[in-house]
Amino acid sequence: MKRANSRSRSDLGDDLKRLLGLAYHRLESSEDLVRRFHDFRRNHRADSDHFQKLYDWLFVPLTLWPIDIEGLLRAVLDRVASGRRLDTRMVLLVDLLPLPPSDRTQRAVSEHEHSVQHGNYESLIRARHKYDHVESQLANNPTFQEQWNAIRARFEVTKFTDHKGIIRRHLVGERSMRDHWPFRWTKTADRFHAVFDVFCQRWNLYGMRGDHPLLLKLTANLTPFGTMVFIPAYWSFDPKRDLNWRAITALHKARGVPKQGPKLGANRAAARRQRARAIKLAKEADQLKLKGERRRVWMLKQLNWDARTDERQLRRILAQSRDRI
């Protein structure tokens, strides 16, 4: 069944307030885009459905974005500003986007994002003592300190910090995919990141903040494609005690994941065939100009249903068939 997600009647103040409530400083990055869209909506109608769909996605938690929605919306607004319409490939891209997730899903994922933003996984992860123990050992490890001092002696490390003062290693993606994989030793940055990545692997770090090591944690994170559980290499993993599987399962199911199973799958397949059969029979009944009680009796007979079956059940199946067309 289709879900109403459109914010076409929202006002600017409400939209900015909603953006403020999202994690990762979304108001700072997208406030100008929201204002620009409201100006656009007052003056343009061409491709309005596609623009509205993208705008609705702008308020979806970043975790669920399959691509850079903000960048795409800026690009299509730029096209309109220059007097051009969306090209067929852009239209295809927007058409492929599903409707934004339900409000319930967005709320659950937004709460998760706020926790992740501050490195807080306590609701999903147990056995924090394992992390604390290794972190305390690392802080007092002379070999670790010697190696970090050696890096600092050869590189001006402050050049590689982000806005939070953190130096981060390169990320490893799904199935160990690495965009940065080819070895480079020409530029100073290439040399530093090669050295730093090996250093972080040696000590199980995701980075450094000043002279403080940022030890990897046992985590569970949503992505646009699924839910990832990361177990650091140093962690002696106990699946029963270390993870709050109930909370992780609830977070995963927040997307609206349906129940699955061999019997349930077979029942759903049978229901789909029955819906297809019912709608085909309804069209045949129209051609035969059957109405009222004659139509009901004829359709029940063709479906091999008991003649005493409540007509509401037949109407419900036909309504479900229309919802899925």
Residue by residue, what is the 3-state secondary structure of 259-314? CCCHHHHHHHHHHHHHHHHHHHHHHHHHHCCCCHHHHHHHHHHHCCCCCCCCHHHH
pLDDT at residue 245, as a whole number: 94
Count of C-beta atoms within a 10 Å radius of residue 62: 17
pLDDT of 260 > 90? The answer is: no
The strand pair at 212-215 and 219-223 is best described as unpaired
pLDDT at residue 310, as a whole number: 73
Check: CB of residue 167 under 8 Å from CB of residue 161. Answer: yes
Highest averaged pLDDT of the listed ranges 143-147, 262-266, 302-306 = 143-147
Average pLDDT over residues 60-89: 93
pLDDT at residue 321, as a whole number: 57
Q: Please give the residue that has the higher pLDDT: either 70 or 315.
A: 70
Give CB contacts under 8 A, 24+ apart, made by 177-186.
none
- pLDDT tens digits, 109-142: 999 999 999 888 888 998 889 999 999 999 899 9
Dist CA 43 CA 48 (whole Å): 11
Average pLDDT over residues 275-279: 84
HSE (side-chain half, CA atoms, 13 Å) at 117: 14
Q: Which residues 6+ apart lie within 8 Å of 181 measured at CB? A: none
pLDDT at residue 303, as a whole number: 85
Closest CA to 64 of 24, 120, 91: 24
Question: What is the pLDDT confidence band of residue 180, given thresholds at 50, 70 and 90?
Answer: confident
Highest averaged pLDDT of the listed ranges 65-74, 166-175, 259-268 = 65-74
Check: CB of residue 37 under 8 Å from CB of residue 51. Answer: yes
CA dihedral 63, 66, 68, 69 (to 10 degrees): -90
Lowest mean pLDDT among 16-20, 219-223, 261-265: 261-265
pLDDT of 304 > 50? The answer is: yes
- pLDDT tens digits, 76-105: 999 988 988 888 999 999 999 999 999 999
pLDDT at residue 227, as a whole number: 93
Closest CA to 121 of 230, 240, 235: 230
pLDDT at residue 266, as a whole number: 65
CA dihedral 203, 209, 196, 63 (to 10 degrees): 90
